[in-house]
Amino acid sequence: MIALVWANLAHASYARVAAALAFPVNDIGMAFFFALATKEVVEATAPGGALHTWRRAALPVIAAAGGMAVPSAIYVMYVIAAVLTAALTIAVYSLRRVRTMEADLPDNAARRRIHI
């Protein structure tokens, strides 16, 4: 909450501090996080660990796969909806433009027009 207020009140000083902390947070902090996560997985799957048998490990593996697949599917559906909306908008605009152009033509020219 403090960072949110700080970023909105004094953007320049917040940007300087954020830039200075980018390397320690992004590289060093993430390296420690993934090292700890790896250590925990190795301990849990070692003989005698909480996830040693495949039956005990199945639920976390399925949950992890679902945690990746469901957001990906939502994103793909969003992109498809955006593309279809854009295509429909273009089609409606084009149809309106053709109808407007036909209305401007003399009657004989409009009758001779070939419809596709």
What digits encode the pLDDT tens for the residues 92-105? 888 887 777 666 66
Q: Which domain holds residue 73?
A: 54-116
Average pLDDT over residues 33-38: 96
- How many Cβ atoms sit within 10 Å of the Cβ of residue 45? 15
Q: Are residues 25 and 63 in the same domain?
A: no
Q: Are residues 37 and 76 in the same domain?
A: no
Could you give the C-alpha distances from 45 to 34, 54, 77, in angstroms and in order?
Answer: 16, 9, 36
Place of tokens 């003989």: 47
Q: Could you tell me the two tokens for 53?
A: 């048998």
Contact between 43 and 49 (Cβ < 8 Å): yes
**Residue-wise pLDDT tens digits, 55-92:** 899 999 999 999 999 999 999 999 999 999 999 999 88
**Coil vs helix vs strand at 34:** helix
Q: Are residues 14 and 46 in the same domain?
A: yes
| CA gap 15, 21 in Å, rounded | 10
- How many distinct structural domains can be found in the chain? 2
Q: Are residues 89 and 47 in the same domain?
A: no
